Structure formats: structure tokens, C-alpha cells
């Protein structure tokens, strides 16, 4: 079904608005995927906070112009879907990676993180990035470790003294 000029402009504006605020993007070729499988992918993407859209390449080029995803325009050829991570940087890569495990017809082509274009082989690395909550948890554990080790060390001196006194007492009682 052909789109009118107004519909194309609206779609371009919508994708551009998402691209302005997104953290990362993945473009993947979806040739041969059934509509029901694509609906499942869309549902998964919505749950994960990923904006997923199938757009014509000419519309995609206009939509990402002036954003940090402009570096993707060279690779826009063939039937591509765009997945933008709006919440955490690795969510789009995780959605595409997990779906491509089950369906080998979804082939990642482009990965962009922080305005830098990475090859599709780096999808796994981007997908393994921690979520915001995981990153905060790691940071807090790192900040807590020196204090915890210091307190453990301070506690060890009186504990060792108590164990030594108990050993002396037990030796006197036995002897």
C-alpha cells in the first residue's frame, strides 16, 4: 500500500523524534519473516522499552539525518527494521539478538551506540551491556567493598586476641 506524502512526513517525524532521544540503535534485515513472528517481535520490543519500526530506506535516511544515528545511512539497503533503545543502551541489541536466536531470518546489519557505528558482529557485546539497575548495583558493590574490607580487618584484631586468650585458657585447664 502506497503512503501519501503526509503519511511519509509524519513517519519521518516520528522516527526522528525517537532517534533524537534514543541511546542506541540496531538495524536488521527481516527478509522472509512471517507477519505473526514479526508481531511477536514487536510485542517483545514494547515490553523491553524498544521502539521498533519498519520503514522504507529513504524515509529512514531522512529520519536519522541530524541525529547521532546519521552514520547508519550508508548501510540502509534491503528490507530493514530499526530498533531504538530508549531506556538502556543494550535493550534493542538484546531484543534483536534473542529473536535472531530463534529465527535465523532476522539478520543484524548495523549497530550504533553513542554515535559510533559498530559492525553487526558487535551485537553480542552491546547486548551484554548492563541495564541501569545492574550498573547501579555494580557501582554500589564497588563503593562498598573497601569499607567492608576495612571493617573486617579492624574486627579481625580483637577476634584474634579473643581466640588466643581462649586457647591459653584451654591449655591451662588441660594442664
The number of folded domains in the chain is: 2
- Asked if residue 149 and residue 66 are part of one domain, the reply reads no
| Domain match, 155 and 122 both | no
The CATH number for 52's domain is 3.30.70.1730
Angstrom distance (rounded) from CA 103 to CA 101: 6
Do 87 and 38 belong together in one domain?
yes
Q: Do 107 and 49 belong to one domain?
A: yes
Answer yes or no: do 74 and 38 share one domain: yes
Residue where a domain stops, chosen among 111, 129, 147: 129
Say yes or no: 87 and 168 in one domain: no
Read off the pLDDT band of 157 (50, 70, 90): confident
* pLDDT tens digits for range 112-143: 998 899 998 899 998 888 888 888 998 998 99
The overall pTM is greater than 0.85: no
Do residues 100 and 152 share a domain?
A: no
What lies within 8 Å, CB to CB, of 88 at 6+ separation is 23, 49, 129, 131, 132
Quick one: average pLDDT of 12-17? 93
- Per-residue pLDDT tens over the stretch 35-45: 999 999 999 99
Q: Are residues 140 and 105 in the same domain?
A: no
Same domain, 50 and 87: yes
pLDDT given at position 4: 85
Of the candidates 49, 48, 50, 53, the one whose C-alpha atom is nearest the C-alpha of residue 15 is 53
Residue 94 sits in the same domain as residue 152: no
Closest CA to 93 of 43, 26, 37, 33: 26
Tell me what pLDDT residue 1 has.
Answer: 59
Q: Which domain holds residue 142?
A: 130-175
In residues, how long is the chain? Answer: 175
The DSSP symbol for 172 reads: H
Which pLDDT value is given to residue 174? 87
Q: Contact 102/114 with Cβ under 8 angstroms? A: no
Helix, strand, coil % over all residues of the chain, rounded to 5: 60, 15, 20
What number is the average pLDDT over the span 133-162? 86
| Domain stops at, among 113, 129, 145 | 129
Is the domain of 123 the same as that of 137? no
Q: Is the pLDDT reported for residue 46 higher than 70?
A: yes
Do both 66 and 147 map to the same domain? no
Q: Greater confidence, 4 or 45?
A: 45
Amino acid at each position: 500500500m502506497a503512503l501519501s506524502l503526509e503519511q511519509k512526513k509524519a513517519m519521518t517525524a516520528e522516527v526522528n523524534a525517537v532517534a533524537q532521544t534514543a541511546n542506541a540503535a540496531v538495524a536488521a534485515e527481516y527478509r522472509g519473516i512471517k507477519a505473526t513472528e514479526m508481531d511477536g517481535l514487536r510485542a517483545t520490543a514494547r515490553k523491553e522499552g524498544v521502539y521498533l519500526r519498519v520503514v522504507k530506506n529513504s524515509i529512514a535516511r531522512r529520519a536519522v539525518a541530524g541525529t547521532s544515528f546519521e552514520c547508519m545511512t550508508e548501510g540502509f539497503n534491503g528490507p530493514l527494521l530499526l530498533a531504538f533503545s530508549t531506556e538502556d543502551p543494550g535493550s534493542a541489541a538484546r531484543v534483536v539478538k534473542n529473536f535472531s536466536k530463534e529465527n535465523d531470518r532476522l539478520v543484524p546489519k548495523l549497530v550504533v551506540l553513542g554515535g559510533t557505528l559498530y559492525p553487526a558482529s558487535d551485537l553480542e557485546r552491546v547486548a551484554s551491556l548492563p541495564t541501569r539497575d545492574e550498573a547501579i548495583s555494580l557501582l554500589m558493590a564497588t563503593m562498598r567493598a573497601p569499607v567492608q574490607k576495612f571493617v573486617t580487618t579492624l574486627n579481625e584484631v580483637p577476634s584474634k586476641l579473643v581466640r588466643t586468650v581462649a586457647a591459653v585458657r584451654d591449655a591451662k585447664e588441660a594442664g
